[in-house]
Chains A and B, each alone.
Chain A
Amino acid sequence: MMKKVMLLAAIALLAFALWPFVRDVGLAEPGELATAYLERGPAELGTANVVTSIVVSYRGFDTLGEVTVLFTATAGVGGLLARRKSGHGRKKAAERGATDASEILKTASRLLSPLLVLFGVYIFLHGHLTPGGGFQGGVIIATAVLIGLLADPEAGLAHGVMHLVEGLSGFAYVALGAVGLWFTGVQAGFLDPRFLPLGELGRLASAGAIPIIYSLVGLKVGAELTGILDAMKEDAE
């Protein structure tokens, strides 16, 4: 009883502390920084999607930190749920009477998985033009792998390929950032994409190196989320 009263008091206190957010402040203009990004993003970097220019370039360092957090969490999940090496897992799955996936799911996954991977690649290649980008594309690729895992839980993923993709794309991401730092002139910063030609606004091959950088982020996020799903999956081996 006492615990419940204290809990409700804490929730009420939190609600009181958050009340200023609920009142409509009635802003009519974006802040100075947002105005600068909105005005200069398309002109300086040639991206139609302003969010992409912030995520990849202006705030690229934050994204690097975010990818690092994602990597650390994935490593934590993998370490906590490390597979026991013995071979009795497979036998146990059969003993448990684990039913096979249905024929419909199997056939649909064979048809859908490649299309979903293609859609994910489309999403992160067009990150600078349309809504979407590396994170969304990577998530869609992980979903494609998830459908495959649902259809055939016993299938082993190619862990070597996944680790290679993840490591190489992470390395290339940092390397491209450093290239931006050194080769674009005096005012350049980390992850400046302007060492490639900017091109024409609205074309696929535009916005300097942003499509390349976002594709690398997409591959890395896709590989990491696939790793999380694979580690969380019950022992199938």
Chain B
Amino acid sequence: MLDGRTTLDLVIGFLGLLMILAALWSVLSKRLLSSVLLSGAVSLLASLVFLALGAPDVAMTEAAIGSALTTMVFLYSLSRMKVEQDAHEDGGAS
């Protein structure tokens, strides 16, 4: 029979394993888009761990910022870089 402490440790360990795998995949992935989205997933799992550690304030902040706003900022800058690239190609052609 598992007591509460061990169960919590198991849940956190499972989440941590997922986080480390997602982080490794995100760093090693060849595609920028999957890299950005997986780093957002790491933040989302981190907010669950914060909740398990008795830090609901931190969990809320991490969920809202880490997985929503940071990912959006990355995606905006990716699409912007594409725009810049197109502009350069246009400028080179003309």
Contacts and interface: CB of A to CB of B under 8 A. Distances in A.
A touching B, CB within 8 angstroms: yes
B72 to A, nearest CB: 6
Given A49-B57, A132-B57, A136-B57, A232 B64 contact: no
B56 interface: yes
A136 B61 contact: yes
A232 B76 contact: yes
A139 B80 contact: no
Contacts of B76: 229, 232-234
Contacts of B20: none
Interface of B: 56-57, 59-61, 64-65, 68-69, 72-73, 76-77, 79-80, 83, 86-87
A98 B69 CA distance: 22
Interface string A201-237: 0000000000000000000000001001100111100
A142 B69 contact: yes
A135 B80 CA distance: 27
A225 B72 CA distance: 12
For the residues of B in contact with A, the DSSP-based class is helix
A45 B61 CA distance: 23
B56 A131 contact: yes
Interface of A: 49, 51-52, 81, 92, 96, 123, 131-133, 135-136, 139-140, 142-143, 146, 225, 228-229, 232-235
A235 B60 contact: no
Given A143-B64, A232-B80, A234-B79, A131 B72 contact: no
Nearest to B83: A234
A133 B83 contact: no
Given A229-B72, A234-B76, A234-B80, A140 B64 contact: yes
A232 B73 contact: yes
B68 A131 contact: no
Nearest to A49: B57
A139 B65 CA distance: 7
Contacts of A232: 73, 76-77, 80
Contacts of A228: 73
Given A49-B57, A131-B57, A132-B57, A139 B64 contact: yes
